[in-house]
Amino acid sequence: MTTRHKVLIVDDELHIRRLIHSALARADYETVEAQNARAALDLLHEASPDIVILDLGLPDRDGLELVPLIKQRSDATLVVVSAREATEQKVAALDLGADDYLTKPFDTDELLARLRVALRNRLTREGGVSTVKAGDVEIDLLARMVRKSGHEVHLTPKEYGVLVQLAKFPGRVITHGQIMAQVWPREVEHHVEYLRVLVRTLRHKLEDDPQRPRIIGNEPGIGYRLRTDGEGG
């Protein structure tokens, strides 16, 4: 199963949004669009994008003001795509938290390459890796694909969300609270039973013997960890 990265495109020019949307669709990204700052902040909450492509020349607010707001409210990768060429504008955007800056007019292939690099760099900063192997299960965090014995495994978005929290830090115990805060970010109350149900379904899909799990380990009362190649049972 491949879970597509979701991209929020923020630009007041319709033809630019269409150009970026077309390029991203060909690369199998999912997109949502906003034409001003207010809509962008609403969609940041509603759509939970993995990537934000931000124009600085918005009609209702300067895009530079949005950069720290987006970084405070989301862990999305933020790439500025703007007609502003001045070095001080680029430096300001990057200092405020943008992951990359691309000047208009731009080549769509370069934009896609920048997105791949930014996503890879985020994984590195978080201490994770791009591909994790646990027994005959392979988790490709960049492609958002899970395989068992070479065959793709279908996971629901929530199941994948739980698995990716473990895969980002293989071998490390991730607490129930840490997982639920990422997978159910808008829930006022987190119920551990929801997580236990998802872990049971994950084990049925990934483990050779779900009753004797060797991939997703349990730390009673604390959390779970992904046992990777080379770890003992």
Residue ranges of E strands in the chain: 6-10, 30-34, 51-54, 77-82, 100-103, 131-134, 137-140, 145-148, 151-152, 174-175, 216-219, 223-226
pLDDT in tens, the chain (233 residues): 456 789 999 999 999 999 999 999 999 899 999 999 999 999 998 898 999 999 999 999 999 999 999 999 988 999 999 999 998 899 999 999 898 999 999 999 999 998 988 877 777 666 666 788 999 999 998 888 999 999 999 999 899 999 999 998 888 888 898 898 888 876 656 688 999 999 999 999 999 999 999 999 998 888 999 998 645 44
Fold classified for 131-226 = Arc Repressor Mutant, subunit A (1.10.10)
CB atoms within 10 A of CB 91: 11
Model pTM above 0.75: no
Domain ranges for the chain: 6-125, 131-226
According to DSSP H, which parts of 27-107 are helical? 37-47, 63-73, 87-95
- What letter does residue 121 receive in the DSSP assignment? H
166-222 pLDDT, tens digit per residue, is 998 888 888 898 898 888 876 656 688 999 999 999 999 999 999 999 999 998 888
Q: Please tell us whether the domain made up of 6-125 is placed in CATH 3.30.465.10.
A: no
2: Cβ–Cβ under 8 A, 6 or more apart, which residues?
Answer: 28, 143, 144, 145, 152
54: Cβ–Cβ under 8 A, 6 or more apart, which residues?
Answer: 10, 40, 63, 66, 67, 70, 78, 79, 80, 81, 82, 98
Same fold for the pair 6-125 and 131-226: no
